[in-house]
């Protein structure tokens, strides 16, 4: 009889997260912040001395989302901050790889985000309208990243991600920082939003 392959990962918090059947009890924000601070966007193909992390991206998306939806509730802003949280264990796959992997990646992502949301008192599934708003903020962030650090020209980024409203990104810049700094800021923003729920 064949042995079932291991589908769990030990977290630094000591939790044992089953990737196929995640439970909210095994989710800790410290694990999320730590993992995301070390996961590179763009497969690491960015300029600078530090990788552009998913944690930094998540902070930017939450900021852009707040500008797009000024009356967003703290819960909605927390969902924006956590939009890529499953990547703390499954990594960040660029869109072409996600498309090649197919529905299996999406299903894994859905299970993880549901457990993460429940852990922090949010609905398991992000409402459709809110998900679209967060995705729009995500695309604005992707445009900024593409142009500022990933070697894309504005015209190419416009075709792939859509040209952002200049007023929406005024004063925002891509930040490349040490993982410990990004982790600290991610944890602080998460705590701030959680306290407002």
Domain count, the chain: 1
- Residue 185 maps to which CATH number? 1.10.3210.10
Nearest CA-CA partner of 78 in 59, 95, 93, 92: 59
Residue 74 in domain = yes
Q: pLDDT value at position 6? A: 83
Residue 12 in domain = no
Residue 177 in domain = yes
Residue 91 in domain = yes
Residue 49 in domain = yes
Residue 137 in domain = yes
151: how many CB neighbours lie within 10 A of its CB?
12
Write out the chain's pLDDT in tens, 197 residues: 677 788 899 999 999 999 989 999 999 999 999 999 999 999 999 999 999 999 999 999 999 999 999 999 999 999 999 999 999 999 988 777 778 777 888 899 999 999 999 999 999 999 999 999 999 999 999 999 999 999 999 999 999 999 999 999 999 999 899 999 999 999 999 999 999 99
Query: With the CA atoms of 25, 29, 32 and 33 taken in that order, what torsion angle do they form, in degrees rounded to the nearest 10?
Result: -170
pLDDT digits (tens, 9 = 90+) for 29-59: 999 999 999 999 999 999 999 999 999 999 9
Q: pLDDT value at position 98? A: 78
Burial class for 31, CB neighbours closer than 10 Å (0-12, 13-18, 19+)? buried
Residue 164 in domain = yes
What is the span of the domain harbouring residue 78? 25-195
Which DSSP string do the residues of 34-84 spell out, in sequence order? Answer: HHHHHPBGGGG--SSSS--BHHHHHHHHHHHHHHHSTT--HHHHHHHHTTT
Residue 45 in domain = yes
């Amino acid at each position: 009889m064949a042995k079932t392959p291991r589908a769990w990962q030990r977290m630094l918090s000591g939790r044992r997260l089953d990737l196929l059947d995640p439970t909210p009890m095994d989710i800790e924000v410290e694990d999320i912040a730590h993992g995301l601070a070390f996961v590179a966007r763009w497969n690491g193909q960015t300029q600078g001395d530090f990788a552009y992390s998913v944690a930094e991206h998540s902070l930017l998306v939450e900021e852009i989302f707040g500008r797009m939806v000024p009356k967003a509730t703290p819960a909605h802003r927390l969902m924006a901050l956590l939009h890529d949280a499953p990547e703390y264990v499954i990594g960040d796959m660029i869109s072409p790889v996600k498309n090649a992997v197919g529905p299996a990646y999406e299903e894994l992502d859905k299970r993880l985000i549901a457990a993460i949301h429940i852990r922090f008192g949010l609905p398991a599934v992000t409402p459709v309208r809110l998900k679209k708003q967060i995705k729009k903020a995500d695309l604005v962030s992707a445009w900024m990243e593409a142009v500022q650090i990933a070697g894309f020209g504005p015209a190419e980024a416009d075709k792939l991600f859509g040209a952002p409203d200049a007023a929406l990104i005024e004063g925002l810049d891509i930040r490349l920082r040490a993982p410990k700094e990004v982790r600290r800021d991610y944890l602080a923003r998460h705590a701030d939003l959680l306290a407002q729920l």
